[in-house]
Amino acid sequence: MTMTSAQHSCHRVTTGPIMASRKEHQHVEGPAGEDLRVPVRRIGLTDGTHLDVYDTSGPYTAYLEDGSDLHDLTVGTVRTRETWTHPEPVGGAATQLAWARAGTVTPEMVFVAAREGCDVELVRSEVAAGRAVIPANHRHPESEPMIIGRAFRTKVNANIGNSVVTSSVAEEVEKMVWATRWGADTVMDLSTGADIHETREAILRNSPVPIGTVPIYQALEKVKGDPEALTWEIYRDTVIEQCEQGVDYMTVHAGVLRAHVPLTSGRVTGIVSRGGAIMAAWCLAHRQESFLYTHFDELCEILRRYDVTFSLGDGLRPGSIADANDDAQLAELRTLGELTQVARRYGVQVMVEGPGHVPMHLVAENARLAHEWCDDAPFYTLGPLTTDIAPGYDHITSAIGAAMIAQAGTAMLCYVTPKEHLGLPDRDDVKVGVITYKIAAHAADLAKGHPGAQARDDALSKARFEFRWHDQFALALDPDTARAFHDETLPAEPAKTA
Amino acid sequence: MTMTSAQHSCHRVTTGPIMASRKEHQHVEGPAGEDLRVPVRRIGLTDGTHLDVYDTSGPYTAYLEDGSDLHDLTVGTVRTRETWTHPEPVGGAATQLAWARAGTVTPEMVFVAAREGCDVELVRSEVAAGRAVIPANHRHPESEPMIIGRAFRTKVNANIGNSVVTSSVAEEVEKMVWATRWGADTVMDLSTGADIHETREAILRNSPVPIGTVPIYQALEKVKGDPEALTWEIYRDTVIEQCEQGVDYMTVHAGVLRAHVPLTSGRVTGIVSRGGAIMAAWCLAHRQESFLYTHFDELCEILRRYDVTFSLGDGLRPGSIADANDDAQLAELRTLGELTQVARRYGVQVMVEGPGHVPMHLVAENARLAHEWCDDAPFYTLGPLTTDIAPGYDHITSAIGAAMIAQAGTAMLCYVTPKEHLGLPDRDDVKVGVITYKIAAHAADLAKGHPGAQARDDALSKARFEFRWHDQFALALDPDTARAFHDETLPAEPAKTA
């Protein structure tokens, strides 16, 4: 599966079915009679039965393994949502939130209800209450709608993105395809280097999942990396550029206020969020309040035209166990709660981001405060890492915290790869990060008693007990690795340990 | 560091210091004026300071990297405890428990108090109450005493052991050295193949950590693998053989009663513990109560002569999420509580083993019941795995459960490697398993507010924030991997994700 440079340059991405699986589509009727084709992965078992699982991989797993029938990546993939019809804007907001509040069911709501296996009214009411979001920019018709909210399957985001010195546009498209193959529900493009616009365009046009960004990164490139040179106008134009391209959700660090910055002075690790550090530097240099905060209403007016979802960034998140749940973090969280209400008044969908580094005994408290102060907006966390002492293994230090915070109601988990703190993740790191976070998310779904979650565990355990090795591999989150490990050594006894 | 076959055949093991570290010994006076040399690993930092960390690696990290000054492995390592003096037996029991109850402080108690950085009275009182154990067979003078109990640092066990078809005696010794290098607090030798006695002898004579076994495995080899042919006499003689060699703790599945077996009939994964399956088969074939249960008093009389610690096995532990905390498991746990009291009456130290596969929402309950029903005997769990769907990543599925159950007071965690359910762990798997479990144990210690636990996190985070890369590597659980990941790509920015 390893791509050569030659393959990259002619835009090869990973295609072909996952082991023993076939992509199927459930045909569901939309509100205007649309034929909504809802994807599932059907895992065939040797006992003649099958198990259907949630599928994020888009068309790529339906292509041949050699990619000979792959669509032209320079043109883009199938535009799933292009022909769907949408209601008129409500009070200027053409958003899932505005429609849900008005009692209107959209094709996106029907689609995600079928995907989640729940009633569409649950979807509508959770979106209307702001407890769930459906990130679906009108300009990203290629995406297959999905929902982020505590009443639904816990979701996983994978970060990709080039930097000044590494990787090509084609490599980033492949990372997106690769991450969604293994189950990433959304992908954030955090590119900071050359060709930001072109990279994002290629990702969006080929992505079956919602794409998130951090617009301040591109805005900073426009001022050659000097935070002081940033202006509201440069930022605003960048946001509009990205809205026009089809970005589905955007991290906005509007909660980092000028008054919060001194609260970080006693920290072990200061401000570790890049967006947070940029805005803190701007506030200090200009002795002014953050332009993201003072222009937040204008941002809302822009985002609601496209139905771009806010992901309110935690620019003051702790970068170490020592700084967890401190005054700086909690002051920002209060502001995020205030901004959540502003955005909702405009009909804009909102998620709230969370840390970072948090010891286990503070994890549930962190989620509780976020839900309480931000009126149950979907919580979206990075990890959190539960100890600082294991660089090289931070997918694991953070999987512990991620599983626990998801059990406490966090709706989406941003993955952490083994390269965290050390370097940029390569293809293998992306896969390990996604699989690790699928584990955390699924463990939490089991713990929450999410309907149907245990069916896959039971099917795999039954296969294991009956020595149906092939079925055990097929049902695994990563069939290829399970089979490879098995083939490397001997068939195991039913139990190898006492 | 990869060993060639030639190196193995001349008994090479991994030697040399861990990055930036030097082994030091704290000199502490024993009860009879002994000079107790308590090991620490001193990590030197570039700012001129150092951090001392708990050290399990024995003399191997004090040898040269080329091993030219290594002791003769056929003779064995330094006999740390050989010259220490011990009180007379109390009521027939020459055990730490008996002495602690009598108010007598032993050299072992002084040693572990220094190692843990706590008062010796805490050690004595916890051992006296049965809330902690110091597994230290009189016949294993090579071991450096350590304590297992909820008031102390959470411990990690690594399983090694050959099988019928693989590995040599020398390879198993190297696995023990390798596992303790990365922080394993105890090692269980689960060998089932040829040369069981010789393998164990080589491990014991060279091990700086307590060694555990499951005697039923060797007993079964003696009857050519036929469970029905087992007898109490064969089992008893095996236990005596292993006590004489110096095994420090033994897993005994005496809680699998004849009446429990039918309780497993409705399970998804039946009986997955090898010891449990053997004893269930024996009970069914003979229509008799388990000889481990009916002869438990005799076992106690044997173990107390050597101060071998019971690890009461959970032969009916769940092998899948579906079977967690079911009637079979809980019935056995009740019996383990009863046996705990019997053992303590004989002055024998006792741990109680736990599962296995448990969803997150049942983890704390599992620990609570074990502590309550077994009168706070140290709980020693395998994982537990929090989902069944990720073979190939079960070190991670189980690290989540292990961290949570340790936070709930579990005293020792038995590692799970990436090969769990799939094959036998190799050298890399052993390391990944140990590091993963050190993460889980340490995350729990932080959450429990264990004294001093956060010092290493703070030191590493400070180094990270100040871009002292070398110190960040040196303070990591796995410095080699952290440095390799960093060197593979670019120095990372302070934060790579939003």
> Contact at 8 Å (CB) between A494 and B420?
no
Q: How far apart are CA B74 and CA B76, in angstroms?
A: 6
ipTM score assigned to the predicted complex: 0.95
Q: How far is A45 from chain B (nearest CA, A)?
A: 15
The confidence band for A490, taking pLDDT boundaries of 50, 70 and 90, is low
Identify the closest residue of chain A to B397 by CA–CA distance.
A439
- Inter-chain residue contact B448 with A361, CB threshold 8 Å: yes
The dihedral through the CA atoms of A414, A420, A421, A427 has a sign that is negative
B-facing residues of A in 71-90 (CB < 8 A) are none
Contact of B396 with chain A, judged by CB distance below 8 Å, is answered with yes
Please list every residue in chain A whose beta carbon sits closer than 8 Å to the beta carbon of residue B414.
497
Phi-psi map region of B287: left, alpha, beta (phi>0 left; psi -120 to 50 alpha): left
| Token couple for B1 | 């560091």
User: Where would I find the H helices in A207-287?
Assistant: 215-222, 232-245, 274-286
Is pLDDT above 60 for A165? no
Identify the closest residue of chain A to B192 by CA–CA distance.
A496
Mean pLDDT of chain A: 94
Contact of A42 with chain B, judged by CB distance below 8 Å, is answered with no
Contact of B265 with chain A, judged by CB distance below 8 Å, is answered with no
What would you report as the CA-atom Rg of chain B, rounded to the nearest whole angstrom?
A: 22
Query: Tell me, what's the pLDDT at B193?
Result: 77
Is pLDDT above 50 for A144? yes
- Identity of the residue in A251, A277, A393 whose CB atom sits nearest the CB atom of B478: A393
B-facing residues of A in 338-357 (CB < 8 A) are 353, 357
Contact of A391 with chain B, judged by CB distance below 8 Å, is answered with yes
Query: Tell me, what's the pLDDT at B64?
Result: 96
Tell me the β-bridge partners of B133: B148
- Inter-chain residue contact A485 with B269, CB threshold 8 Å: no
> Contact at 8 Å (CB) between B282 and B291?
yes
- Inter-chain residue contact B382 with A497, CB threshold 8 Å: yes
Contact of A236 with chain B, judged by CB distance below 8 Å, is answered with no
B-facing residues of A in 320-339 (CB < 8 A) are 320-322
Please list every residue in chain A whose beta carbon sits closer than 8 Å to the beta carbon of residue B190.
496-498
Please list every residue in chain B whose beta carbon sits closer than 8 Å to the beta carbon of residue A472.
391, 421
- Inter-chain residue contact B407 with A442, CB threshold 8 Å: no
- Inter-chain residue contact A393 with B435, CB threshold 8 Å: yes
User: Choosing among A220, A416, A461, A481, which should be mutated to test the B contact, i.e. which has the most B CBs within 10 A?
Assistant: A461
B-facing residues of A in 283-302 (CB < 8 A) are none
Q: How far is B73 from chain A (nearest CA, A)?
A: 27
- Inter-chain residue contact B493 with A274, CB threshold 8 Å: yes
Identify the closest residue of chain B to A439 by CA–CA distance.
B397
Amino acid at A156: V
| Model pLDDT for residues A339-397, shown as the tens digit of each residue | 999 999 999 999 999 999 999 999 999 999 999 999 999 999 999 999 999 999 999 99
- Inter-chain residue contact B274 with A494, CB threshold 8 Å: yes
Identify the closest residue of chain A to B442 by CA–CA distance.
A387
Contact of B498 with chain A, judged by CB distance below 8 Å, is answered with yes
Q: How far apart are CA B309 and CA B300, in angstroms?
A: 10
- Inter-chain residue contact A439 with B396, CB threshold 8 Å: yes
DSSP letters for B377-426:
PPEEEE--BS-SS-TT-HHHHHHHHHHHHHHTT--EEE---TTTTTS---
Buried b (16+ CB within 10 A) or exposed e, B398-425: bbbbbbbbbbbbbbbbbbbbbbbbbbbb
- Identity of the residue in B357, B446, B493 whose CB atom sits nearest the CB atom of A321: B446
Distances (CA, A) of B30 to B34, B110, B209: 5, 6, 20
Query: Tell me, what's the pLDDT at B11?
Result: 53
Identify the closest residue of chain B to A213 by CA–CA distance.
B498
| Per-residue tens of pLDDT for chain B, all 498 residues | 343 333 444 458 999 999 999 999 999 999 999 999 999 999 999 999 999 999 999 999 999 999 999 999 999 999 999 999 999 999 999 999 999 999 999 999 999 999 999 999 999 999 999 999 999 999 999 999 999 999 999 999 999 987 655 568 888 999 999 999 999 999 999 998 778 999 999 999 999 999 999 999 999 999 999 999 999 999 999 999 999 999 999 999 999 999 999 999 999 999 999 999 999 999 999 999 999 999 999 999 999 999 999 999 999 999 999 999 999 999 999 999 999 999 999 999 999 999 999 999 999 999 999 999 999 999 999 999 999 999 999 999 999 999 999 999 999 999 999 999 999 898 999 999 999 999 999 999 999 999 999 999 999 999 999 999 999 999 999 999 999 999 987 554 443 333
Q: Are strands A21-29 and A35-44 parallel, antiparallel or unpaired?
A: antiparallel
Return the number of CB contacts < 8 Å for A and B: 332
- Inter-chain residue contact B498 with A275, CB threshold 8 Å: yes
Q: How far apart are CA A436 and CA B359, in angstroms?
A: 16
Identify the closest residue of chain A to B384 by CA–CA distance.
A443
